[in-house]
């Protein structure tokens, strides 16, 4: 579950504290983002040890280079998610390439497809997690609880029109996970945040 | 209306050919799962996308168009409306008539999809993609998709998006990961403002408890917990809930926070409560409602503020006195004591909700045991004054700083060690030459004794020597506990 949106002030102060070399700030950063980082890495890599490794890399990067985060460019959460995504996809590509070179099955295209697929899945997770709560609640009701939109409307205490609107908007947001960024561009973690 | 019908959708295995274009939820994260590309036009033939997981969480992805199946209609609510063509009737007609006549049922009337405005149809696309609208609406939408390009494009896009919905994996972060991640960061770039050694157990234990609380739902937050401790050599307890335990931690950690110049959570309660127990009762009383999960946020903020402030004041502040009402501890020991309490209560909570919970890291466990061992001589003296401990026939007072009659406390297991406890005076120094008794027990068992969770008579301790001295020390250890 997403925590309530932290004010940008928190992000700015966190960056300053990290830049000052305050170990307590690093602990707080971990407490806030560790489960996001770990679950995104796990979604891409499908492996606990690999997700552990990415978690270490992400926090090490933020701790060693806090200045690379620009508070004006967006929330720290988004930035941390993009960083995690990039490192995890990099590692996936590296391990898959190594496997391929050692005579593993599949072609280079298969590899690219798997990488792309994992990337989309991880982005989708993030979008669901970061979307406004009313949209997420509607999707959860309709998809996981198998409620139709009228029941969803009743459950959420909104009109049927509104329930339809939320379901459609939620899926529209989610569908942006498929929008693959141009090669080299940072993955799109901004959209739903 | 067909809500009841829809929600009674069977969870059975696929009926009809599986549509491979719909990735199953749960497989998406794995390389090699279907690529999720749609064929693009299959919905125009009456199938709908819904990679809906079954109630038990196993996905099934047969083309079970919403509301379009009749065999599950036993709970039907009397919808007489049209049934889509080529499908079983959504609601079986009254069974009696069949049995009475033996004749086959007449074919159901062809559906007449309701005439809906383009805008309404468009607004239904999300619900349609999720298989969350009525049979009539489904039919109307699908008819519309055959004739409206933009809506068909959006429908395809939304349906692909449904394939991306995944139940959040319930990943338990390994609690030791935090320590490992932070250590490797601090190795790469040493901190300019470190967390003092004496605040690390508190930092680690509060983070561990927070990780336990992570996935708690309301039922866990309100699960009953019994706080247990020893008072006047009797096992005592107080009933509360998981949320009540966290409120207790907030109230007592507030003693430290207040002394550090941070906000005292009891300030609003307006109480002059000093002891941990009195503060807890005052804090519980001051809130109009029993504590809920909302107590977690303030508790974490308090933890972080304490660790942060301890870092800034540095080692010099470690000696600052923290009053517990009837006794005082230097800040460095008070934070160890709070780390110990946090662990003890985390175990109480874990037990209440049937979760496993590990003991602290060995070096933290050892410093907690060390604190208890250092407090024992003071407690023994206080108990003797109160007539609770035997003066002891062999008791002899020695000058301050001189070796005195001692008990050897041997703690086994990770985080263990040996301590010589001076028995007759806190001012005396523990001495191997004057050892009159020896007890040996496991570190975690000793902590449970000191937490008042194991009665002194039942503590699993190997004992050799002066039985009176052993009994005094075990009772003194239990009396370290408090609410």
B-chain CB neighbours of A107 within 8 Å are none
Query: Given this model, what pLDDT does residue A3 score?
Result: 46
Q: Does A160 touch chain B (CB under 8 A)?
A: no
B216 → chain A, closest CA residue: A1
Exposed / middle / buried, residue A122 (Cβ in 10 Å: 0-12, 13-18, 19+):
buried
> CB-based burial of residue B286 (10 Å sphere; 0-12 exposed, 13-18 middle, 19+ buried)?
middle
- Which option is the CATH number for A132-193: 1.10.10, 2.60.40, 1.10.150, 1.10.3470? 1.10.10
Q: Given an 8 Å threshold on Cβ–Cβ distance, is B31 in contact with A118? A: yes
Q: Is B164's CB within 8 Å of A59's CB?
A: no
A57 Cβ under 8 Å from any chain B Cβ: no
Encode burial over B178-197: b for 16+ CB neighbours within 10 A, e otherwise: bbebbeebbeebebebbbbe
Whether A96 sits inside 8 A of B182 (CB atoms) is no
Q: Of B329, B436, B423, B438, whose CA–CA distance to B381 is shortest?
A: B423
| Model confidence at A10: pLDDT above 50 | yes
Q: Which of A24, A143, A152 is nearest residue B195 as measured by Cβ atoms? A: A24
> Tokens representing A101?
């070179």
Touching check for A65 and chain B: CB below 8 Å? no
* Number of Cβ pairs < 8 A linking chain A and chain B: 207
The span from the CA of B423 to the CA of B395, in Å, is: 8
- Per CATH, the homologous superfamily of domain B175-358 is dinb family like domain (1.20.120.450)
pLDDT tens profile B4-18: 444 444 444 444 444
Whole-number percent of chain A with pLDDT over 70: 88
pLDDT of residue B448: 94
- The correct answer on CATH 1.10.1740.10 for the domain covering A8-130 is yes
Which of the residues A24, A68, A161 would you substitute to probe the B interface, choosing the one with the greatest number of B C-beta atoms within 10 Å? A24
**Which residue from B46, B70, B54 is spatially nearest to B13, judged by alpha carbons?**
B54
* Nearest-10 crossing angle of helices A48-64, B175-188: 40
pLDDT tens sequence across A172-182: 999 998 876 54
Query: In chain A, which residues have their Cβ closer than 8 Å to the Cβ of B174?
Result: 52
Three-state DSSP class for B116? coil
Please judge whether A117 and B304 are an interchain contact, meaning their C-beta atoms are less than 8 angstroms apart: no
Give this complex's ipTM.
Answer: 0.81
Whether the CB of A56 is below 8 Å from some CB of chain B: the reply is yes
Least confident interval from A52-56, A83-87, B78-82, B446-450:
B78-82
Say which of A23, A117, A142 has its CB closest to residue B194: A23
Report yes or no: A25 at the B interface, CB cutoff 8 Å: yes
| Residues lower than pLDDT 50 in chain B | 1-85, 89, 92-94, 97-99
DSSP, res B87? S
Q: Is A137 on the interface with B (CB under 8 A)?
A: no
Judging contacts by C-beta atoms under 8 Å, the chain A residues touching residue B167 are 144
Q: Where are the domains of chain A?
A: 8-130, 132-193
- So what's the pLDDT on residue B114? 62
Does A95 reach chain B within 8 Å, measured CB to CB? no
Tell me which of B27, B56, B130 to substitute to probe the interface with A (most A C-beta atoms closer than 10 Å). Answer: B130
Our CA-based measurement puts residue A104 at a distance from the nearest CA of chain B, in whole angstroms, of 13
Residue A20 is nearest to which of B166, B171, B192, comparing CB atoms?
A: B192
pLDDT given at position B386: 83
User: Helices B467-478 and B362-385, interaxial angle, to 10°?
Assistant: 110
Of the candidates A34, A46, A171, the beta carbon closest to that of B29 is on A46
Q: How far is A21 from chain B (nearest CA, A)?
A: 5
Q: What is the pLDDT of residue B2?
A: 42
User: Are the C-beta atoms of residues B54 and B46 closer than 8 Å to each other?
Assistant: no
**pLDDT at A102 exceeding the cut of 90:** no
| Contact assignment for A171 to B158 by CB distance below 8 Å | yes
Q: Which residues pair with B234 in a beta bridge?
A: B231
CB atoms within 10 A of CB A18: 23
B52: nearest CA in chain A?
A143
Q: Cβ contacts (< 8 Å) between B207 and chain A: which residues?
A: 27, 31
Euclidean distance between CA atoms B405 and B199, whole angstroms: 33
For A18, the closest chain B residue by CA position comes to B191
Q: Among the residues of A7-73, which ranges form H helices?
A: 8-19, 23-45, 48-64
Contact of A105 with chain B, judged by CB distance below 8 Å, is answered with no
What is the model's pLDDT at position B108?
58
Chain B CB contacts of A152 under 8 Å are: 132
Query: CB B30 to CB A46 under 8 A?
Result: yes
Which chain A residue shows the shortest CA-CA distance from B207? A31
Nearest chain B residue to A56 by CA distance is: B181
Distance CA B69, CA B81 (A): 13
Q: Cβ of B185 and A21 within 8 Å? A: no
How many Å apart are CA B52 and CA B49, to the nearest integer?
9
Residues of chain B with CATH 3.30.1050: 372-478
Q: A34–B7: do the CB atoms touch at under 8 Å? A: no
| DSSP string across A135-153 | HHHHHIIIIIS---HHHHH
CATH of the domain spanning B372-478:
3.30.1050
Residues A111-155 pLDDT 10s = 888 888 888 888 898 898 889 999 999 999 999 889 999 999 999
Query: Do the Cβ atoms of A143 and B130 come within 8 Å?
Result: yes
B191/A23 CB distance under 8 A: yes
Strands B403-412 and B417-422: antiparallel
Q: Which residue of A has its CA nearest to B25?
A: A121
Q: Which residues contact B436 (CB under 8 A, 6 or more apart)?
A: B394, B405, B406, B407, B423, B465, B466, B469
Contact list, A163 vs chain B (CB under 8 Å) = 127
User: Does the distance separating the beta carbons of A120 and B7 come in below 8 Å?
Assistant: no
Task: List chain B residues with CB under 8 Å of A112.
Answer: none
Mutate: best of A5, A18, A23, A35, partner B, most B CBs <10 A: A23
């Amino acid at each position: 579950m997403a925590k309530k949106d932290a004010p940008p002030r928190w992000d700015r102060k966190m960056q300053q504290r990290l830049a000052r070399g305050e170990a307590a700030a690093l602990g707080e950063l971990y407490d806030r983002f560790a489960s996001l980082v770990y679950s995104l890495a796990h979604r891409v890599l499908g492996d606990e040890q690999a997700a552990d490794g990415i978690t270490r890399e992400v926090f090490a990067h933020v701790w060693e280079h806090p200045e690379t985060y620009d508070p004006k460019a967006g929330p720290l959460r988004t930035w941390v998610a993009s960083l995690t995504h990039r490192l995890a996809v990099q590692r996936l590509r590296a391990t898959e390439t190594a496997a391929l070179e050692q005579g593993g099955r599949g072609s280079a295209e298969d590899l690219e497809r798997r990488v792309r697929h994992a990337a989309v899945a991880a982005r989708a997770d993030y979008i669901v997690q970061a979307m406004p709560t009313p949209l997420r609640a509607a999707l959860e009701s309709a998809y996981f609880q198998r409620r139709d939109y009228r029941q969803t409307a009743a459950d959420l205490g909104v009109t049927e029109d509104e329930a339809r609107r939320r379901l459609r908007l939620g899926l529209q947001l989610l569908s942006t996970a498929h929008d693959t960024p141009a090669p080299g561009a940072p993955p799109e973690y901004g959209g739903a945040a | 209306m067909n809500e009841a019908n829809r929600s009674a959708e069977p969870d059975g295995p696929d009926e009809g050919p599986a549509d491979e274009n719909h990735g199953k939820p749960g497989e998406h994260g794995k390389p090699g799962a279907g690529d999720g590309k749609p064929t693009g036009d299959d919905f125009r033939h009456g199938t709908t996308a819904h990679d809906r997981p079954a109630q038990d969480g196993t996905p099934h992805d047969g083309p079970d168009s919403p509301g379009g199946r009749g065999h599950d209609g036993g709970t039907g609510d009397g919808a007489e409306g049209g049934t889509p063509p080529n499908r079983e009737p959504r609601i079986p007609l009254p069974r009696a008539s069949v049995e009475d006549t033996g004749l086959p049922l007449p074919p159901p009337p062809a559906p007449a999809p309701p005439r809906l405005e383009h805008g309404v149809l468009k607004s239904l696309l999300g619900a349609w993609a999720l298989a969350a609208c009525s049979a009539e609406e489904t039919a109307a939408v699908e008819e519309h998709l055959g004739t409206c390009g933009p809506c068909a494009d959006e429908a395809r896009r939304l349906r692909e998006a449904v394939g991306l919905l995944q139940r959040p994996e319930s990943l338990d972060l390994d609690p030791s990961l935090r320590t490992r991640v932070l250590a490797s960061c601090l190795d790469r770039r040493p901190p300019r403002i470190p967390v003092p050694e004496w605040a690390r157990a508190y930092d680690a234990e509060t983070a561990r408890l927070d990780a336990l609380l992570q996935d708690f739902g309301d039922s866990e937050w309100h699960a009953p917990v019994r706080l247990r401790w020893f008072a006047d050599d009797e096992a005592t307890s107080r009933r509360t809930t998981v949320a009540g335990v966290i409120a207790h931690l907030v109230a007592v950690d507030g003693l430290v926070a207040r002394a550090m110049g941070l906000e005292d959570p009891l300030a609003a309660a307006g109480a002059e409560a000093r002891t941990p127990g009195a503060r807890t009762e005052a804090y519980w009383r001051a809130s109009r409602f029993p504590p809920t999960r909302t107590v977690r946020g303030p508790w974490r903020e308090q933890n972080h503020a304490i660790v942060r402030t301890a870092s800034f004041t540095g080692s010099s502040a470690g000696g600052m006195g923290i009053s517990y009402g009837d006794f005082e501890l230097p800040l460095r020991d008070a934070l160890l004591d709070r780390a110990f309490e946090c662990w003890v209560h985390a175990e109480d909570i874990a037990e209440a909700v049937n979760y496993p919970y590990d003991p602290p890291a060995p070096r933290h466990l050892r410093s907690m045991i060390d604190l208890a061992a250092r407090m024992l001589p003071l407690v023994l003296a206080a108990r003797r004054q109160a007539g609770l401990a035997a003066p002891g026939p062999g008791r002899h007072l020695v000058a301050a700083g001189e070796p005195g009659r001692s008990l050897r406390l041997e703690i086994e297991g990770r985080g263990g060690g040996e301590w010589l406890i001076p028995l007759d005076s806190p001012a005396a120094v523990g001495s191997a030459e004057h050892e009159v008794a020896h007890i040996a027990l496991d570190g975690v068992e000793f902590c449970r004794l000191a937490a008042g969770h194991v009665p002194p008579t039942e503590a699993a301790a190997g004992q050799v020597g002066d039985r009176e001295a052993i009994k005094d020390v075990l009772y003194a250890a239990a009396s370290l506990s408090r609410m």
